[in-house]
Amino acid sequence: MRKKKMNDEDYPTTGHEWDGIREYDKPMPRWWLWTFYLTIVFSVGYVIAYPAIPLLKGATPGLLEYSSRGEVRENIELVNGQNAAIEAKLLATPLAEISADPELSRFATAGGGAVFRTYCAQCHGAGAQGFKGYPNLQDDDWLWGGNIESIALTVRHGIRHDADEDTRYSEMPKFGEILESEEIANLAQYVSLISGQEYDKAAAAQGKISFGDNCSSCHGDAGLGDVEQGAPNLADALWLYGGDVETVTESITNSRFGVMPAWQGRITEAQIKQVTFYVHQLGGGE
Amino acid sequence: MTTQTEQPPRLFEGREPVFPQRVSGWYRRLKWWLMIFTLGIYYITPWIRWDRGPNLPDQAVLVDMANARFFFFWIEIWPHELYFVAGLLIMAGLGLFLFTAALGRVWCGYACPQTVWTDLFILVERWVEGDRNERIRLLRADISFRKTRLRLTKWTLWLIIAIATGGAWVFYFADAPTLFHDLITGNAAFVAYGTIAVLTATTFIFGGFLREQVCTYMCPWPRIQAAMMDEDSLTVSYRDWRGEPRGKLGKAEGDCIDCMACVNVCPQGIDIRDGQQVECITCALCIDACDTMMEKIGKPRGLIDYCALSDEPLERAGNPPKSIWNHVLRLRNFIYFGLWASIGVAMVVALFIRSDFSATIKPDRNPRFVKLSDGSVRNAYDLKIRNQSGQERVFHISIKTEEPLRLDLQGTDELNVVVPADEILHQRVYIVAKPEHNSSQIDSSDVRFWVEDRSTGDRAHTDSFFAGDAK
């Protein structure tokens, strides 16, 4: 059955020669050629089945109408379906009891982290570390309360968000329009005193009187603040805008108040619970 | 084109059919046993059970992709221990170096799946269609009922083997009895059916039709091996100084009677008497064929034999060749063996001294620290505890620092955590430095986290740092 083998000398060469070594022009094995034809057939099938030929807008859709975006959408729906049971459980569980269930905690933390990075990180920072004027959510200093219910309330209704009826509201007067600049300077010295910084004794004594008249109704007699009114604690080491005399003077003169949007209606109830739980477990939650 | 040919050049070269003849002898027997051994390992391994307790799978060898675990009898490998797998691959590579340097293409001839399955397919072919001459006649015969029946029988048997081959593969990746039941009832995952389909097709085509072409055209190994062999490597060779000039029995001067037995049994379709060639997988069947013939005509065996190239001048001069051990036990092989063995020993030692739990720590980078209302500085960390045992365990967490800093765990007032069997626990932990502590003001100070198994007292540690508010 063996065919007479062709001798190597009988084969044509490509005509290339390097140091006496010539390159044969031998035919391909047949299976190789078939594989090559097969890829051509495959490519035709592919062009028919899948998006392939670019048009001015988009490309030919292909019979299977495949799109990678559609695939992502399907995957998201798949995951949402897989999470449906635990999400229902999350909705049925009171906020304070989530932490007792490790599986629910993991779900809330992971989901809340995603919500936070999507909607909250723009102001509060990716690590919730805050910026000047935007509170740090990892520390133990809370303007409007740091227990899980208070955080939920803030997320739901925002702060000073006019469009929401239940938003919490307070406004510090611009004392530059009420007090003399000397009085404001004295107040700033008194704030330095209660927050444990360097201060002028005489001015601070004057400031103390002024503080009782103008500030203590919101910030308290000792300057410890009031979470009911969103009045910051002036006696601790943390400052939202800065605790040096210059910044405090500016704060008293022109007043400060930040605005946070309400998230109820913009994100789902489950997302509100998740992000609340996430923020609460960052280390500052009470 | 400098050379003119009379016909236009062909676009392809058709395969020359190969019809290996039945042969018996020492190497054939060795190959049967090796086939039973290797195929046995392949098909049976996933069905071996190994009790690991209630929390772990009871399959002796299991690559659990979904849970990222690899089980091998008493060994369980986690993803962070992948260096064991890397070590095994390096050992496999060095092992091939060693075997190739010592015994030539012994892997190709005896153990390569392509060789073993092709051998099995040829066995089926011979069983259905008869030996070499009958198969040649069948190929030449016109299409008939008998030819169709024989072909269909052969292909059906091949297909059954191919399906079993593809089927066995997927059992390594899931609980075999469960998967088998799912496969039969049509409930298995698509990827399982897809894998079986692909492996069935490749087995059927590679073993049934492509055969020696896989070795000659597709496999890079023959080329690589050529670089690893030297004149002391043992390869299947024809002693042409003894055989030539060949001729018909009684008329020849050399021992070779040109009976073509060595060519007829060759699964690669080559003539070993042409010398070493890239197609030869050193399956040694031509040795058996030639020895049988030599015995029949009363000549000494070994006209075709395992020889080393360096012996050729010696033998041409009429001296006996050096002993096999003389070739095998040489410096190069000792170096390969030394490297191979030292990696093996190192891995075994590593396997025995590894702990069945470990901890890693990752400090929060954003923010690096948080200032608290009393002026303290707090750092947050993600502590990861891996419990690699089959039991739930309680771990006590503590820190070692220069100053007495406070350790807190998120969500609990205790310093103990429970890690379920065969799981990783992520625990957020905090370290707080008071304002009076030096650590709260310097950029970085060292922290060592200790994790202690409450029941056994075994400890593991992981190092990190504490970031202060350096201003």
Cα B407 versus chain centre, distance: 48
Beta bridge pairs of residue B71:
B62, B76
Complex prediction ipTM? 0.81
Q: Which residue in chain B is spatially nearest to A6 when comparing CA positions? A: B13
Which residues lie closer than 8 Å to B5 by C-beta, 6 or more apart? A12
Distance between B201 CA and the closest CA of chain A, angstroms: 14
Distance separating alpha carbons of residues B277 and B274, to the nearest angstrom:
8
Please state, rounded to an integer, the average pLDDT across all residues of chain A. Answer: 91
Distance separating alpha carbons of residues B51 and B59, to the nearest angstrom:
8
C-alpha dihedral sign at A105, A108, A114, A120: negative
Q: Nearest to residue A277, comparing CAs of A93, A73, A51, A72? A: A93
Provide, rounded to the nearest whole percent, the portion of chain B with pLDDT above 70: 98
Closest partner residue to A1 among B19, B213, B372, by Cβ? B19
Distance between A233 CA and the closest CA of chain B, angstroms: 9
Closest partner residue to B372 among A28, A126, A139, by Cβ? A139
**Which site among A24, A139, A142 would you substitute to test the B interface, given the most B Cβ atoms closer than 10 Å to its Cβ?**
A139
DSSP B457-471: --EEEEEEEE-----
The residue whose two tokens read 């999400």 is A87
Domain span at residue A218? 175-254
Query: What is the three-state SS of chain A?
Result: CCCCCCCHHHCCEEEEEECCEEEECCCEEHHHHHHHHHHHHHHHHHHHHCCCCECCCCECCCCCCCCHHHHHHHHHHHHHHHHHHHHHHHHHCCHHHHHHCHHHHHHHHHHHHHHHHHHHHHHHCCCCCCECCECCCCCCCCCCCCCHHHHHHHHHHCECCCCCCCCECCCCCCHHHCCCHHHHHHHHHHHHHHCCCCCCHHHHHHHHHHHHHHCHHHHCCCCCCECCCCECCCCCCCCCCCCCHHHHHHHHHHCCCCCECCCECCECHHHHHHHHHHHHCCCCCC
Cβ distance A126 to B366 less than 8 Å, yes or no, reads yes
Taking an 8 Å Cβ-Cβ cutoff, which residues of chain B contact chain A?
1-5, 9-17, 19, 136, 139-140, 210, 213, 217, 364-367, 370-375, 378, 380, 410-411, 428, 430, 435
pLDDT exceeds cutoff 90 at B446? yes
pLDDT digits (tens, 9 = 90+) for B98-133: 999 999 999 999 999 999 999 999 999 999 999 999
Distance separating alpha carbons of residues B443 and B468, to the nearest angstrom:
5
Q: Roughly what angle, to the nearest 10 degrees, separates helices B176-185 and B190-205? A: 90
- Residue B255, number of CB atoms within 10 A of its CB: 18
What pLDDT shows up at residue B270?
93
pLDDT digits (tens, 9 = 90+) for A212-241: 999 999 999 999 999 999 999 999 999 999
Tell me if B59 sits within 8 A of B50, measured CB to CB. Answer: yes
pLDDT exceeds cutoff 90 at A206? yes
Let me know whether A139 and A272 are in one domain: yes
- Residue A5, number of CB atoms within 10 A of its CB: 9
Beta bridge pairs of residue B307:
B235
**ω before B367 within 30° of 0 (cis)?**
yes
Distance between B336 CA and the closest CA of chain A, angstroms: 35
| Interface size, chain A vs chain B, as Cβ–Cβ contacts under 8 Å | 96
**Phi, psi (5° rounding) for residue B29?**
-60, -45
For residue A233, tell me if it sits in a domain.
yes
Let me know whether A223 and A203 are in one domain: yes
Which residues lie closer than 8 Å to B274 by C-beta, 6 or more apart? none
Which residues lie closer than 8 Å to B308 by C-beta, 6 or more apart? B231, B232, B233, B234, B235, B321, B322, B327
Distance separating alpha carbons of residues A27 and A7, to the nearest angstrom:
14
Cβ distance A1 to B140 less than 8 Å, yes or no, reads yes
Chain A residues within 8 A of B435 when measuring between CB atoms: 237
Supply the CATH number for residue A188's domain.
Answer: 1.10.760.10
Distance between B259 CA and the closest CA of chain A, angstroms: 15
Beta strands, E only, B420-458: 423-433, 445-453
Let me know whether A98 and A139 are in one domain: yes
- In the chain, the amino acid numbered B133 is N
Report the number of distinct structural domains present in chain A.
2
> Between B48 and A23, whose confidence is greater?
B48
Please state, rounded to an integer, the average pLDDT across all residues of chain B. Answer: 91
Chain B residues within 8 A of A281 when measuring between CB atoms: 410-411, 428
Cα B175 versus chain centre, distance: 21
pLDDT exceeds cutoff 70 at B199? yes
Cβ distance B370 to A283 less than 8 Å, yes or no, reads yes
Closest partner residue to B12 among A25, A33, A136, by Cβ? A33
DSSP B237-288: EE-HHHHPSP-STTT-SSS-----HHHHT-TT---GGG-S-TT-----HHHH
What pLDDT shows up at residue B9?
64
pLDDT digits (tens, 9 = 90+) for B145-155: 999 999 999 99
Distance separating alpha carbons of residues A117 and A129, to the nearest angstrom:
12
Chain B residues within 8 A of A29 when measuring between CB atoms: 12-13, 15, 213, 217
Q: How do the domains of chain B map onto residue ranges?
A: 26-226, 230-328, 357-466
Confidence of residue A7 (pLDDT cuts 50, 70, 90): low
What pLDDT shows up at residue B245?
86
Tell me if A100 sits within 8 A of A281, measured CB to CB. Answer: no
Cβ distance B3 to A15 less than 8 Å, yes or no, reads yes
Cβ distance A141 to B373 less than 8 Å, yes or no, reads yes
Cβ distance B16 to A32 less than 8 Å, yes or no, reads no
Cβ distance B410 to A29 less than 8 Å, yes or no, reads no
Distance separating alpha carbons of residues A68 and A250, to the nearest angstrom:
54
Taking the model in full, what pTM does it have?
0.76
Chain A residues within 8 A of B430 when measuring between CB atoms: 283
pLDDT exceeds cutoff 80 at B7? no
Chain B residues within 8 A of A3 when measuring between CB atoms: 16
Confidence of residue A3 (pLDDT cuts 50, 70, 90): very low
B418-443 residues labelled b (16+ CB within 10 A) or e (exposed):
ebeebebbebbbbbbbbeebebbeee
Chain A residues within 8 A of B367 when measuring between CB atoms: 125, 127, 129, 136, 138
Element (H or E) spanning B62, and its range?
Answer: strand B61-64
pLDDT exceeds cutoff 50 at B26? yes
Cα A234 versus chain centre, distance: 29
The residue whose two tokens read 């030929």 is A53
Distance between B136 CA and the closest CA of chain A, angstroms: 7
Distance separating alpha carbons of residues B412 and B394, to the nearest angstrom:
14
Cβ distance B370 to A139 less than 8 Å, yes or no, reads yes
What average pLDDT does this structure show over B237-252? 86
Distance between B446 CA and the closest CA of chain A, angstroms: 22
Cβ distance A139 to B373 less than 8 Å, yes or no, reads yes
Chain A residues within 8 A of B264 when measuring between CB atoms: none
pLDDT digits (tens, 9 = 90+) for A66-123: 989 999 999 999 999 999 999 999 999 999 999 999 899 999 999 999 999 999 999 9
Half-sphere exposure of B354 (CA within 13 A, CB side): 22
Cα Rg for chain B, rounded, in angstroms?
32
Cβ distance B11 to A238 less than 8 Å, yes or no, reads no
For residue A192, tell me if it sits in a domain.
yes
CA distances in angstroms from B96 to B89, B113, B175, B229, listed in the order given: 11, 15, 32, 11
Taking an 8 Å Cβ-Cβ cutoff, which residues of chain A contact chain B?
1-3, 12-15, 25-33, 99, 105, 125-127, 129, 136, 138-141, 233, 236-238, 281-284
Note every long-range contact of A116-119, with CB atoms under 8 Å and residues 24 or more positions apart, other chains counting. A116/A275, A116/A278, A116/A279, A119/A263, A119/A266, A119/A267, A119/A275
Q: Which residue in chain A is spatially nearest to B18 when comparing CA positions? A: A2
Element (H or E) spanning B167, and its range?
Answer: helix B145-170
For residue A59, tell me if it sits in a domain.
no
Tell me if B150 sits within 8 A of B191, measured CB to CB. Answer: no
pLDDT exceeds cutoff 90 at A61? no
What pLDDT shows up at residue B168?
93
Cβ distance A31 to B15 less than 8 Å, yes or no, reads yes
**Phi, psi (5° rounding) for residue B308?**
-105, 140
- In the chain, the amino acid numbered A88 is A
What average pLDDT does this structure show over A257-282? 95
For residue A235, tell me if it sits in a domain.
yes
Tell me if B377 sits within 8 A of B440, measured CB to CB. Answer: yes
Let me know whether A139 and A271 are in one domain: yes
- Residue A19, number of CB atoms within 10 A of its CB: 4
For residue A184, tell me if it sits in a domain.
yes
What pLDDT shows up at residue A5?
55
What distance, in Å, lies between the first and last C-alpha atoms of chain B? Answer: 79
**Which site among A30, A37, A101, A103 would you substitute to test the B interface, given the most B Cβ atoms closer than 10 Å to its Cβ?**
A30
Provide, rounded to the nearest whole percent, the portion of chain B with pLDDT above 90: 73
Distance separating alpha carbons of residues B423 and B450, to the nearest angstrom:
19
Let me know whether A110 and A249 are in one domain: no
Confidence of residue A1 (pLDDT cuts 50, 70, 90): very low
Cβ distance B370 to A138 less than 8 Å, yes or no, reads yes
pLDDT digits (tens, 9 = 90+) for B278-318: 899 999 999 999 999 999 999 999 999 999 989 989 988 88
CA distances in angstroms from B10 to A84, B209, B214, B461, listed in the order given: 64, 22, 22, 70
What pLDDT shows up at residue A213?
93
CA distances in angstroms from B50 to B61, B72, B173, B179, listed in the order given: 9, 9, 15, 17
> Pairing between strand B12-13 and A28-29?
parallel
What average pLDDT does this structure show over B175-204? 93
Tokens representing residue B463 in the block: 């190092």
Chain A residues within 8 A of B411 when measuring between CB atoms: 99, 105, 281
pLDDT exceeds cutoff 90 at B275? no
What pLDDT shows up at residue B6?
59
Cβ distance A237 to B372 less than 8 Å, yes or no, reads yes
Let me know whether A109 and A240 are in one domain: no
Q: Which residue in chain A is spatially nearest to B2 when comparing CA positions? A: A15
For residue A49, tell me if it sits in a domain.
no
**Which site among A13, A31, A95, A103 would you substitute to test the B interface, given the most B Cβ atoms closer than 10 Å to its Cβ?**
A31
Domain B357-466, CATH among 3.30.365.10, 2.60.40.10, 3.40.50.620, 1.10.10.10: 2.60.40.10
Let me know whether A273 and A247 are in one domain: no
Q: Nearest to residue B333, comparing CAs of B41, B97, B46, B35? A: B97
Closest partner residue to A28 among B13, B17, B410, by Cβ? B13
